[in-house]
Amino acid sequence: DAGITQSPRHKVTETGTPVTLRCHQTENHRYMYWYRQDPGHGLRLIHYSYGVKDTDKGEVSDGYSVSRSKTEDFLLTLESATSSQTSVYFCAISGGTDNSPLHFGNGTRLTVT
Amino acid sequence: AQSVAQPEDQVNVAEGNPLTVKCTYSVSGNPYLFWYVQYPNRGLQFLLKYITGDNLVKGSYGFEAEFNKSQTSFHLKKPSALVSDSALYFCAVRPSGKFYFGSGTKLNVKP
């Protein structure tokens, strides 16, 4: 596996609480992504980053924010968790060319009660 | 709008038989095309990609994919399926910095 670590691997939290998921890479890749995976929806892009402090929204960004203060770390924050954000979250990284594939972390299973 | 379609939620095939998992796409320009596999409780793993050139691309674990520009399709194939190929398969396209994924196809290979 590519050097991608997601933490925590599992989390249960209550509605209305803030939650931060962390993605750490050791590949020095430029691009980093956050996806969520839900049955029937495949993978949906939440936010992505194309460099330190350079981020952009994906197709399901409402309720989420991100930060990238250094190349190796990409944080996803749910400001006030809702039950609809119960999902499996995947971080992915990619090199600097458009034909570079994505490499995925092993995911974080988040349950919002 | 960019979209990727995997028309079959599930594909069933007997071990030793050939398999095909279908993918069609609708994106602007000439995107790069990818296939990924996901095993239970794991992230997606890269299988193969099409950049340009030969329409038949070979990848990991004996998989290959056939690109058809006129039909905007990129079907995943394997000549002889194994039980261990049972997993969830995703097609993806990358017209620019972003990747767009299909909804996934569950492949069941029966002994």
Domain boundaries, chain B: 3-110
Residue B95 has a pLDDT of 81
- Report the chain B residue with the minimal C-alpha distance to residue A106: B43
Domain range for A92: 4-112
Mean pLDDT of chain B: 93
Nearest by CB to residue B43, choosing from A50, A101, A107, is: A107
Give the per-residue pLDDT at B81: 97
pLDDT at residue B3 is higher than 70: yes
Q: In the predicted model, what is the mean pLDDT of residues B55-67?
A: 94
For B44, the token pair is: 């997606």
Inter-chain Cβ pairs, chain A and chain B, closer than 8 A: 57
CATH number at residue A61: 2.60.40.10
Compute the Cα dihedral for A93, B7, B51, A59 and give only its sign: negative
How many domains is chain A built from? 1
Of B32, B90, B94, which is closest to A43 when you measure between CB atoms? Answer: B90
A59-105 pLDDT, tens digit each? 899 999 999 999 999 999 999 999 999 999 999 999 878 788 999 99
For residue B96, pLDDT over 80 is answered with: no
Provide the CATH topology of domain B3-110.
Answer: Immunoglobulin-like (2.60.40)
Confidence of residue B62 (pLDDT cuts 50, 70, 90): very high
Res. B40 pLDDT band, cuts 50 70 90: confident
Q: Which of A103, A62, A107 is nearest to A87 (CA)?
A: A107
Distance, CA of A106 to CA of A90 (rounded, Å): 7
Residue among A1, A4, A98 minimizing CB distance to B94: A98
B-contacting residues in A 43-82 (Cβ below 8 Å): 43-45, 48, 50, 58
In this complex, do B46 and A45 lie within 8 Å of one another by their Cβ atoms? Answer: no
Residues of B in contact with A43 (CB under 8 A): 44, 90, 101
> So what's the pLDDT on residue A24?
98
How much is the pLDDT for A2?
64
